Amino acid sequence: MGDLFSDKLELNGVAVCAGALDRPAQEQMVKDLRLLAGNAPFRQYQTPGGRKMSVRMSAAGALGWVTDRSGYRYDPHQPDGRDWPEIPEGVLAVWRRFSGVNRIPDSCLVNFYGKGAKMGMHQDRDEADTKWPVVSISLGDDALFRVGSAEPRGPTKSVWLKSGDVAVLSGEGRMVYHGIDRIRFGSSDLLPDGGRLNVTLRVAG
């Protein structure tokens, strides 16, 4: 997994490859994601419990991830009925470089964190087969990433994810609880209006 060109840190089985993407690669990815958002707008979903999520979400690939009063699920269609756009090539290249597996991801979720946005502790468990890894790319503002264990209330460790960092949940780390406590709004100049993009790749179906 990964390669020799970035700093690798291990947190409860989660690999964090700091500096995996250089600035030009980050800029290209932001361009690709702007195009993507033209075909799959960022939406603010409600949890099954009826709460508005603070993160705005878009997606690409055969399956996007949506949530509403009927539950969390992977869905082949956007809420407006359209297919999801294709996963950008540069994003697929990150999967090939870091996933350690020979399968193509069928789902690419894109989260946007504006000022004050965060994500509660959760496990990624909606995938049909959780033996496949999850690869996550951070772009823009720094984010405080909290990683626990496979138990809901175990001890946790935290790390600041910076623009260009890649995190991989696989093996031991695949089912750990994790979340984003907060972002340092305005800490990066990658996105002109601030905020953070997080791209996660999965074999979901």
Residue with Cβ nearer ligand MD6 (78 or 136): 136
Task: Return the sign of the alpha-carbon dihedral for residues 59, 92, 118, 196.
Answer: negative
Q: Which two tokens stand for residue 170?
A: 């696989």
Residue with Cβ nearer ligand MD6 (20 or 167): 167
Near ligand MD6 in 119-138, by CB under 6 A? 119, 124, 134, 136
Does position 163 interact with ligand MD6 (CB under 6 A)? The reply is no
**In the block, which residue shows the tokens 């995996």?**
20
Using the rule CB under 5 A, give the single segment among 42-50, 53-61, 123-131, 191-199 that binds Fe ion.
Answer: 123-131
Helix (H) or strand (E) holding 178, with range, is strand 178-183
The SS3 of residue 11 is strand
CA distance 205 to 73: 11
Size of site (CB under 6 A) for ligand MD6: 11
**Smallest distance from Fe ion to CB 134, Å:** 7
Does position 191 interact with ligand MD6 (CB under 6 A)? The reply is no
CA distance 79 to 181: 28
Residues in contact with ligand MD6 by CB under 6 A are 111, 119, 124, 134, 136, 167, 169, 178, 180, 198, 200
